[in-house]
Amino acid sequence: MGETPHDSLAQPINIRYDFKSVSDEKTVSKIVRFTETSLPALFNLALSDLMDDGAESDMNVTNNNDMRTVLATVIRIVDNFFIKFPGVAVTFRGSDERRTRLYRIVIDRELVSIQQRYQVFGEYSDGRLELFEPGADYKRFIIRLIP
């Protein structure tokens, strides 16, 4: 019997994109990583900073005054990922409540534009999943291309 990407012996798919956050004060290397989850066709998205020692941190506070640029870059990376893997969904959340709230605010603000290409779902703390509703207190988000 041949192995498939979901066999227990197969390595999960892990795709990494690198970019830089640049300001007058500093340059910070950023990583967007898509990691295959145990659920079929669902990838986790993680945004982190590459630290000087080579470690990745999703708790680091960059304070580079370019949050909009960083988020716009992440959105372009997600677009590129979906070009390569159109049949999958991507899940993400902030590494803390403040960041999760920030992502919800950005989705709220950009929802009309986002919904032209993507279906966006929100997951509550109790595991309930629904199409994204502005202002709802989600713990996680899932996006996929509109089928």
**Residues 27 and 38 grouped into a single domain:** yes
pLDDT value of residue 9: 55
Do 47 and 119 share a domain, yes or no? no
Residues 57 and 82 in one domain: yes
Same domain, 74 and 122: no
Mean pLDDT of 49-62: 84
Based on the domain organization, do 97 and 74 belong to the same domain?
A: no
Q: Which of 45, 64, 92 is the last residue of a domain?
A: 92
pLDDT in tens, 10-53: 677 899 999 999 988 899 999 999 999 999 899 999 999 998 88
Tokens 């089928």 sit at which residue? 147
Residues 6 or more apart whose CB falls under 8 angstroms from that of 49 comprise: 28, 29, 30, 31, 56, 57, 58, 60, 62
Count Cα neighbours of 27 within 13 Å in the Cβ-side half-sphere. 4
* pLDDT band per the 50, 70, 90 thresholds, residue 104: very high
Q: Which domain holds residue 136?
A: 93-147
Number of folded domains that form the chain: 2
Task: Answer yes or no: do 12 and 68 share one domain.
Answer: yes
Run of H or E residues at 108? helix 97-114
Task: Answer yes or no: do 76 and 115 share one domain.
Answer: no
pLDDT at 135 over 50: yes
Please say if the pLDDT value at position 7 is more than 60.
no
Q: Which helix (H) or strand (E) holds 95?
A: none
For residue 95, what are its two tokens? Answer: 């590494």
